[in-house]
């Protein structure tokens, strides 16, 4: 006699391709997606300042989720897609706890749904969390680990920790052409 599996059937999550990256950030409208965690705004502020220094002709557009949980709501999801359709590329923050990493992946997924390439910024301890949520949602979403420890809201400290190397990494994720896996047509997980 066999066993009845206690788990749900989830092995058929199709992996969809990522949206092609922009070739440069020069002159682009860059979206900054704040997922509602207190540490998201200072991190994105520091990132914006450094991108402005690199690309004076770039413009920025913010989207703030007022509370982390609101991304569960259909209205909020529709609003994120509508906003993302108006930017050329987008950076989301922050994945620095269990639920916020999950909901950041949801947010970046919505940005990609809008046809806009997105990148999530995460605390390095939440890499597997981001990856597994992204794969479960159906895309190998890009991300950049930052040295900013979770829940850090001191803007001065964040400015110091978002080094030029970190910025190089973010820029790379935003502009590096897709690889074969990222370009692949839908396949079962």
Q: Which residues contact other proteins by CB under 8 A?
A: 1-10, 13, 66-70, 72, 97-99, 101-102, 106, 126, 128-129, 132-133, 136-137, 150
**Which CB sits closer to other proteins, 58 or 94?**
94
**Which CB sits closer to other proteins, 33 or 130?**
130
Min dist. Cβ of residue 77 to other proteins (A)? 13
Q: How far apart are CA 25 and CA 175, in angstroms?
A: 8
3-class DSSP state of 164? helix
Tokens 């992946």 belong to residue: 105
**Which CB sits closer to other proteins, 10 or 165?**
10
Q: How far apart are CA 142 and CA 174, in angstroms?
A: 9
**Which CB sits closer to other proteins, 136 or 168?**
136
Q: Output the six-digit token pair for 169.
A: 């990494």
3-class DSSP state of 20? coil
Q: Output the six-digit token pair for 147.
A: 């040295």
Min dist. Cβ of residue 74 to other proteins (A)? 11
Min dist. Cβ of residue 165 to other proteins (A)? 26
Please say whether the dihedral angle defined by the alpha carbons of residues 186, 131, 137 and 20, taken in this order, is positive or negative.
negative
107 close to 80: Cβ distance less than 8 angstroms:
yes
Please say whether the dihedral angle defined by the alpha carbons of residues 171, 148, 95 and 62, taken in this order, is positive or negative.
negative
- Nearest 10 degrees: Cα torsion 113, 100, 176, 79: 30
**Which CB sits closer to other proteins, 70 or 175?**
70
Min dist. Cβ of residue 72 to other proteins (A)? 7
Min dist. Cβ of residue 172 to other proteins (A)? 26
Min dist. Cβ of residue 107 to other proteins (A)? 13
**Which CB sits closer to other proteins, 33 or 89?**
33
């Amino acid at each position: 006699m066999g066993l009845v599996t206690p788990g749900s059937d989830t092995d058929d999550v199709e992996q969809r391709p990522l949206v092609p990256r922009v070739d440069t950030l020069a002159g682009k409208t860059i979206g900054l997606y704040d997922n509602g965690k207190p540490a998201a705004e200072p991190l994105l502020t520091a990132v914006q300042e450094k991108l402005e220094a690199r690309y004076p002709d770039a413009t920025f557009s913010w989207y703030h989720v007022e509370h982390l949980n609101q991304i569960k709501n259909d209205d909020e999801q529709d609003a994120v897609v509508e906003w993302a359709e108006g930017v050329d590329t987008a950076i989301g923050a922050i994945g620095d706890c269990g639920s916020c990493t999950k909901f950041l992946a949801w947010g970046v997924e919505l940005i990609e749904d809008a046809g806009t390439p997105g990148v999530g910024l995460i605390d390095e301890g939440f890499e597997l969390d981001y990856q597994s949520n992204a794969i479960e949602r159906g895309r190998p979403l890009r991300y950049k680990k930052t040295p900013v420890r979770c829940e850090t809201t001191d803007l001065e400290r964040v400015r110091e920790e978002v080094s030029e190397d970190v910025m190089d990494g973010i820029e790379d994720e935003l502009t590096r052409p897709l690889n074969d896996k990222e370009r692949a047509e839908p396949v079962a997980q």
